[in-house]
């Protein structure tokens, strides 16, 4: 492989896991490689880890930002990347051996603009060690007939609208990304919106079920933390995405509405898990959730696209939001006892 791959790794307070992440990237047998680490306002020992990695590896570069958020960090990495191919890796995750080489081979053999793989979640070191030592992607899965090939319309229908909304675990041709950037100021759902905005430029994409990306179940990760105002971003991102999707294909309005419903219910669930005092402080956000849901709750055509059980949740929350929040809080507390 002669063309360079640029791996962009945003990090914020990741001193305990950044080096292991970068080691998994540097261990890839994929020819020319550059690793761009964006230290986004870390206040722990991340800067020292970055400095050491730069000193030890000539292909590692570090960009320092004053805590501007993951979207700004990724965008800055894109601006600085020199590779013909791009991959995003979160700093607490890791790449399984050989996955970059395999994704590049799959991308080239299918003449695709993007090649994606599945992921394997891990939490304990022994889980990662098992994944790391299981071996590389089998050759037949990186062949020209492996995985599934999509045009941009089918990728939207069969991937983005069915939950494959992650920007990581994918290798992109730099030409596909072009001037598309992550919407800055957004922290949840921004990767889905990035993929939607790539669609007009996408000729072909390929996805394999091989779990080549090691996703760390970080107990301090964004989706594990208690509710903050940032959680509202997932609603706003799906609303923006809906506008782009319907403009592209009006028949997909129901699927997009279903995704907004799910985003509202996930956010309401986060608010419900706060203490009574905290729920009072988050009242305005709960009211926003109610308003967003009331605008689409009567769109019956969206309900077949909801996950199992969500139809009842949506209707109950729309009619009795305070009761739903109390019931959710109580039931989850009982489960966690």
pLDDT in tens, 114-158: 999 999 999 999 999 999 998 777 776 666 557 899 999 999 999
The tens digit of pLDDT for each residue in 57-86 reads 999 999 999 999 999 999 999 999 999 999
Quickly list H helices, the chain: 18-26, 46-56, 70-80, 99-109, 125-133, 152-158, 174-177, 190-198, 233-248, 253-272, 276-281, 283-294, 310-319, 321-335
Q: What is the pLDDT of residue 1?
A: 40
> Do 120 and 131 touch, CB atoms closer than 8 A?
yes
The Cα–Cα gap between 246 and 256 comes to: 8
Instruction: Please report how many Cα atoms fall inside a 13 Å half-sphere around the Cα of residue 224, on the Cβ side.
Output: 6
Task: Give residue 222's pLDDT.
Answer: 64
Positions in the chain short of pLDDT 50: 1
Rounded CA-CA distance 57/25 in Å is 12
pLDDT in tens, 280-299: 999 999 999 999 999 999 99
Work out the angle at residue 200's Cα, subtended by the Cα atoms of residues 232 and 248, and round it to the nearest 5 degrees: 70
Instruction: Name which of 47, 13, 9 is nearest 225 in CA terms.
Output: 13
**Burial category of 109 from C-beta neighbours within 10 Å (exposed 0-12, middle 13-18, buried 19 and up):** middle
| pLDDT the model gives residue 181 | 98
Q: What is the pLDDT of residue 139?
A: 74
């Amino acid at each position: 492989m002669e063309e360079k791959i640029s791996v962009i790794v945003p990090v914020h307070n990741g001193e305990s896991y950044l080096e292991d992440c970068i080691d998994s990237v540097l261990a890839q047998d994929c020819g020319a490689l550059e690793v761009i680490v964006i230290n986004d306002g870390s206040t722990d020992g991340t800067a020292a880890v970055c400095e050491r990695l730069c000193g030890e590896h000539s292909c590692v570069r570090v960009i320092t930002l004053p805590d501007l958020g993951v979207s700004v960090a990724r965008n800055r990495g894109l601006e600085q990347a020199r590779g013909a191919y791009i991959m995003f890796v979160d700093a607490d995750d890791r790449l399984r051996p050989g996955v970059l080489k395999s994704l590049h081979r799959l991308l080239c053999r299918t003449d695709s603009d993007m090649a994606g793989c599945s992921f394997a979640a891990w939490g304990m070191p022994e889980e990662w060690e098992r994944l790391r030592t299981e071996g590389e992607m089998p050759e037949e899965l990186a062949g020209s007939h492996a995985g599934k090939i999509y045009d941009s319309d089918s990728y939207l229908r069969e991937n983005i609208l069915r939950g494959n909304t992650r920007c990581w675990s994918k290798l992109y041709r730099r030409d596909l990304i072009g001037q598309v950037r992550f919407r800055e100021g957004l922290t949840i759902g921004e990767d889905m919106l990035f993929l939607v905005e790539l669609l007009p430029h996408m000729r072909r994409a390929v996805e394999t079920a091989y779990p080549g990306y090691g996703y760390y179940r970080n107990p301090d990760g964004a989706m594990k933390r208690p509710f903050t105002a940032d959680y509202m971003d997932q609603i706003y991102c799906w609303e923006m995405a809906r506008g782009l999707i319907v403009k592209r294909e009006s028949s997909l309005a129901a699927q997009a509405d279903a995704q907004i419903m799910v985003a509202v219910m996930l956010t309401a669930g986060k608010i419900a898990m706060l203490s009574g005092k905290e729920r009072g402080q988050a009242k305005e956000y709960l009211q926003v959730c109610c308003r967003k849901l009331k605008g689409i709750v009567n769109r019956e055509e969206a309900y077949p696209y909801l996950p199992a059980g969500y139809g009842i949740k949506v209707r109950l929350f729309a009619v009795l939001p305070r009761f739903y929040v109390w019931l959710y809080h109580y039931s989850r507390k009982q489960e966690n006892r």
